[in-house]
Structure 1
Amino acid sequence: MTYQLESRGPGVGVAATWSAGFVGLLWVFEIADAALGLRLDDEGIRPGSTDGLSGILFAPLLHGGFGHLISNTVPLLVLGFIVLLSGVSRWLVLTLIVWIVGGAGTWLFGGAGTVHIGASGLVFGWLAYLILRGFFTRHPWQIVVGVVVFLVYGGALWGVLPGQPGISWQGHMFGAVGGGLAAWWLADRGPRAVASFGR
Structure 2
Amino acid sequence: MNTENHFYFKTGVIGYPILFVLVIWVVFWFEIRFGFDFNHFGVVPRTLKGMRGIFFSPFIHSGIEHLWHNTLPLLILSAALFFFYAKNAWKVLLWGAFLTGVFTWIIGRPSYHIGASGVIYMLFGFLFFKGVLAKHFRLIALSLVVVFVYGSMIWYTFPVDPKISWEGHSSGLLVGTVMAFLIKKGIATPERYAWEAPDYNPEEDDFLKHFDEDGNFIEHTPEMPEEEIIIVYNYKELTSDKNKDEEE
TM-score normalised per structure 2:
0.70
Which residue is equivalent to 1:93? 91
* Number of equivalent positions: 185
Q: CA deviation at 1:139?
A: 1.4
Stretch moving more, 102-111 or 12-21 = 12-21
1:152 is aligned to 2:170: no
> Over the residues paired in the alignment, what is the CA RMSD in angstroms?
1.9
Which residue is equivalent to 1:4? none
- Of Structure 1 and Structure 2, which has the larger fraction of its residues in helix? 1
Q: CA deviation at 1:99?
A: 1.0
Instruction: Summarize the Cα distance change of 1:137–1:87 in structure 2 as closer, same or farther, 3 Å threshold.
Output: closer
Which residue, 122, 133, 136 being the options, matches 2:133? 136
Which residue, 6, 19, 33 being the options, matches 1:35? 33
Amino acid in the other structure paired with 1:123: I
Q: Which runs of 4+ in 1 moved over 6 A?
A: none
Amino acid in the other structure paired with 1:63: H
Amino acid in the other structure paired with 1:110: G
Q: CA deviation at 1:82?
A: 0.8
Which residue is equivalent to 1:195? none
Which residue is equivalent to 1:119? 116
Instruction: Summarize the Cα distance change of 1:165–1:38 in structure 2 as closer, same or farther, 3 Å threshold.
Output: farther
The whole-number CA distance in structure 2 between the counterparts of 1:10 and 1:25 is 26
The sequence identity of aligned pairs, in percent, is 29
Larger radius of gyration: 2
TM-score normalised per structure 1:
0.86
Instruction: Summarize the Cα distance change of 1:87–1:137 in structure 2 as closer, same or farther, 3 Å threshold.
Output: closer
Q: Which runs of 5+ in 2 are unaligned?
A: 189-248
The whole-number CA distance in structure 1 between the counterparts of 2:93 and 2:123 is 8
The whole-number CA distance in structure 1 between the counterparts of 2:89 and 2:179 is 10
The whole-number CA distance in structure 2 between the counterparts of 1:98 and 1:143 is 21
Cα offsets for 1:84-111 (capped at 9, x unmatched): 1035552211112221221111111111
The alignment partner of 2:180 has SS state of: helix
The whole-number CA distance in structure 2 between the counterparts of 1:24 and 1:55 is 19
The whole-number CA distance in structure 2 between the counterparts of 1:37 and 1:99 is 27
